[in-house]
Amino acid sequence: MSNEHDSLRAIVWNNDALQLLDQRVLPHETRYLTLRTPEEIANAIKEMVVRGAPAIGITAAFGMVLAARQAFARDKNDWKSLIKKDFQLLAASRPTAVNLFWALAKMQQLIDNLDNYDDSTLLNEAQRIHAVDITDNYRMGDLGSAFIEPNSNVLTHCNTGSLATGGYGTALGVIRSAYRAGNISQVFADETRPWMQGSRLTAWELVQDQIPVTLIVEGAAASLMREKSIRWVIVGADRITANGDVANKIGTYNLAVLAKYHGVKFMVVAPTSTIDMNLANGEMIPIEQREPVEILKFKGQSVSANGATAWNPAFDMTPASLVDVIVTERGVVENPTLEKIQTLFR
């Protein structure tokens, strides 16, 4: 895969430390933070230095490498016990993105199976998780772009690109591949309030990679679908349940309802590590509730009437009945059901 329309990497292992592109200051500043402890990594996840389910999982995997180093330095005989506190710290950083728990479980299983501390084995596994994610994104890009008709206008929500993954992206990976194939004319992106991931991050990524992007406020989506001949809404996911229900950034459910009414196709792009077969349906997904101040203020300045309160769920749940296609690295599921999702894991 060439680096055409694929120039960004937000997670970099360098000189025995993890470097994260600080997404809180984009697009006005490009700043990498250097993290050397599991506490720093957990805080970076919680404070949204890094965000996006696959990127959170990869970051947590490197966090376990640093946790093991720290524990071994404290007690060479009891390091496996000491690491449990760091595991819990990392697991508590964001509750909705299942990739976090998937990556932590992979690292913990490896640790449990080690007879002796082996730093290179742990680091190799974290780097493998990172590399596989990028490879899987290229695969999903190819599979998803096959559905996009020539001269399509598409709409995306939040950020699902190189900033949200190991690289290339899930939904933005499909958009990158479809644009490279000449099938996308214009990408429209929701601003994605209150953190503005669409305007700050998705638009920045697409501009960097010379893909045409037009921003809209969330309230413009219905008019956009009616007036601009949108063919597809393409989004990512933070968790998909066994029946195909999808938890994603708040506002995704709105788009799915609008797409159904306007005859627009709705595509979800996510690796199988995002699918939680232990949850039967979306009603069981824990939805992270963030602080009201994120809505009541913007960059420290009040944007609401004094005395007003705010409801600030970070995610919503889109029923499988509103999803036309789920694209994974193992294959594509059209009109998802429990039986179709199960086939991905056979």
- pLDDT tens track of the chain, all 346 residues? 456 778 889 999 998 999 999 999 999 999 999 999 999 999 999 999 998 889 999 999 999 999 999 999 999 999 999 999 999 999 999 887 788 999 999 999 999 999 999 999 999 999 999 999 999 999 999 999 999 999 999 999 999 999 999 999 999 999 999 999 999 999 999 999 999 999 999 999 999 999 999 999 999 999 999 998 899 999 999 999 999 999 999 999 999 999 999 999 999 999 998 999 999 999 999 999 999 999 999 888 999 999 999 999 999 999 999 999 999 999 999 999 999 999 999 8
- Known active-site residue 238: yes
- 141-343 in CATH: which number? 3.40.50.10470
For the entire predicted model, the pTM comes to: 0.90
Over its C-alpha atoms, the chain yields an Rg (Å, rounded) of: 20
Residue 252: the pLDDT is 98
Domain at 11-136: CATH code: 1.20.120.420
CA 298 → CA 145, 173, 195, 301, 341, distances in Å?
36, 30, 9, 5, 40
Give the whole-angstrom CA distance, residue 66 versus residue 37: 6
Q: Of residues 22, 238, 245, 276, which has the active-site annotation? A: 238
Domain limits, the chain = 11-136, 141-343
